[in-house]
Structures are given as structure tokens and as C-alpha cells.
Amino acid sequence: MDREAWIFGYGSLIWRPAFRFERMVPGYITGWARRFWQGSTDHRGVPGAPGRVVTLIPSPGALCWGMAYRVGEAELDEVLRALDHREKGGYARHDVPLHLADGAAVRAEITARSAIVYLATPDNPDYLGAAPLPEIAAQVLASHGPSGSNVEYVLRLADALMAMGAHDEHVTELAALVGHRAPRPVDPRTTVGPSCGGRAAGAADGPSTELGARSTSS
């Protein structure tokens, strides 16, 4: 049986996978929008003073870019155990159809697969839900946890999305509110379609065999 699996990261898993993978490729999922609606009491905040991190909200017609990682059969159990621990603050595994944008041939070669995604749904105790963006920004500015400042999480996500050519209005606006520099214009030659609430460009580096470092921070 082929137990190769794909894991789709849309938050800290984009810039800090910290698990062993065989290949990383930008990809997207449809019908979901990325939002800073999940409270974090174990990474970017503390109990009683949660930070805000991203989860995915069902959103018909939306398209969310992130990073897809292929994990080999030999590593899969260990990787999922480590990710279950890292994402224990409200997230659970779900299977989603994944569209893979394959490196340089991003527009020509998009293939669909199924991937594991970590999702925090409204029934978890740390879920915070919607709030006006200035309120979310104020909470981000005030929050700090074992993995570092909440501002760092926002800015690293904004930078990682920018680096892969994916634009997400919600992330860009929040990053600007917490002190991000002005976003670089997206190169129209690499644009492949809309992202969560905005336009996205497919991106990027070709397939990689890089192995992530080991760390459980998020």
C-alpha cells in the first residue's frame, strides 16, 4: 500500500515545517479562507492572554494558497505524531483536495491530490472567531508566547506568502496594521488565480528535497 502523504500548511507550517519531507511545492485548496480567528495559548500567547493565529473558514469560491509537503511512508507516523503535538491547541487533522502548483510550470501543470490539513474549528475551546481587523491587530501586538511574539507569526506568514507570490488580503492588511513594510507588487507574469480574498500568484521554487529541521515551535 502506498502510504505517501501530502501535508498542506497555510500558517506557520509554510515557513517552519520542522518535519522531514521529501518534497515541498506551493499549492492551494478551494472553498476555504485563511483567518486569524484561532486563539493561541501555547505558541503565540499564554492561557488568559491568547494570541491570534490562523485557521481556515469554509468559504465557497475562496482559494487559499500554502505549501504542500510530501512525506514518505517511513516518516509519516513520526511526522504526524509531532504535528499532532505541535497543533494540539485546537487543531485536528482533516483531508482536503489539494491542487499542486508544480514549480516553474505553475500554470500548465496543476494536479489535484488529497492532503492532510490541520484545522481549528469553532468547537475548540481556544477558538476566538471574527473580530474587526484593528482589534485583531491590537491583540497581536500585545501577545507573546513560548514560540515568540504574535507579531513575528503575522510578519513571517506575510513574508512567506509574498515570497511564493501568493496574496492574501486578510494577512496583508493585518501585517500592515502591526507594522509590516508596504507589500511588493505581485509580478503579473506569475499570477495564476485568486487567493483567500484576493489575487494569488503561483510561485516559485521548483521541487525540493530539503529536509526540515526538528522543532515543535509554531
> Residues 218, 53: contact at Cβ < 8 Å?
yes
Spatial distance between the Cα atoms of 27 and 172, rounded to a whole number of angstroms: 19
Residue from 22, 87, 135, 173 carrying the catalytic annotation: 87
Which residue's CB is nearer to ligand SIN, number 32 or number 118? 118
**Least Å from the CB of residue 185 to ligand SIN:** 26
**Least Å from the CB of residue 31 to ligand SIN:** 16
> Residues 9, 87: contact at Cβ < 8 Å?
no
Pick the closest to residue 96 from 69, 119, 124, 76 (CA basis).
119
Which residue's CB is nearer to ligand SIN, number 119 or number 201? 119
Which residue's CB is nearer to ligand SIN, number 35 or number 180? 35
**Least Å from the CB of residue 52 to ligand SIN:** 11
- Residue ranges in contact with ligand SIN by CB under 6 A: 9-13, 53-54, 87, 118, 218
Which residue's CB is nearer to ligand SIN, number 9 or number 145? 9
Catalytic: 4? no
5-9 vs 110-120, strand pairing mode:
parallel
**Least Å from the CB of residue 218 to ligand SIN:** 5
**Least Å from the CB of residue 189 to ligand SIN:** 28
Which residue's CB is nearer to ligand SIN, number 10 or number 28? 10
Residues classed as catalytic: 87
